[in-house]
Amino acid sequence: MKMAEKIHWARELTTFVKHFCCKYMKQVKPWTLTLVIALLGVQGACVSQGTSSTTEAQDTGRKDTMTYKIQKTEEEWRQLLGDEAYRVLRLKGTERPFTSEFETQWEAGTYVCKGCGQELFSSETKFDAGCGWPSFYQSMDKSKVKEIPDLSHGMNRVEVVCSGCGGHLGHVFNDGYGQPTGLRYCINGVSLGFVKKP
């Protein structure tokens, strides 16, 4: 099933549950409905990046033994990045879908690593995948990102990290339908900075 179809059915399911609750569960407390929708939201996140939006990577599926040019202590990273970017970049977390300002940004410029400023993706290769995260069909240069087999969460995926600092950016998938490379670099917007084209 294509990504757009999966998202479509997730939304259909959400609508159905809402109507069901309104019709048959009038006595139910409002927080129950909120909980149901929140759970469906998490399920939606799983469809696109294949992992919970709130679960940090506590796995052993990724083996990255490379030493990166930029080295900092965990405390230095936390200070530099702030809580959410630290969770994603350094703890290999996933941001909630449809929350990044970059997901719907189409200005010309360059997307850089929030951890070290390395140039990663050009706006020219950005496309609307409808998955809730900024998506690109290729990196600026193969030396800028490192691709690592990722067997975490019982899936076979390819993780994308910044080659400058080792920061987790997202994953690359073979479902960049209609794109020149056929690839979709599904990137957490919070991992990125943006330098507008002068």
Residues that bind Zn ion (CB under 5 A): 113, 115-116, 118, 162, 164-165, 167
- Which one, 164 or 176, has the nearer CB to Zn ion? 164
Establish how many alpha carbons lie within 13 A of residue 173's alpha carbon, considering only the half-sphere containing its beta carbon.
18
Q: Specify the residue for token string 């040019």.
A: 69
- Which one, 113 or 186, has the nearer CB to Zn ion? 113
- Residue of 170, 166, 177 whose CA lies nearest to 51: 170
* One-letter amino acid for residue 112 of the chain: V
- Residue of 102, 126, 98, 99 whose CA lies nearest to 114: 102
Q: Specify the residue for token string 């992992």.
A: 51
* CA distances for 17 relative to 8, 13, 41, 58, 166, angstroms: 14, 6, 12, 32, 41
- Which one, 41 or 193, has the nearer CB to Zn ion? 193
- Which one, 12 or 76, has the nearer CB to Zn ion? 76
131 has catalytic annotation: no
User: What's 6's DSSP letter?
Assistant: H
Catalytic-role residue among 131, 162, 165, 186: 186
Please state the separation of Cα 29 from the chain's center in Å: 33
The CB-of-120 to Zn ion minimum distance in angstroms stands at 8
Give the residue numbers annotated as catalytic, written as ranges: 186
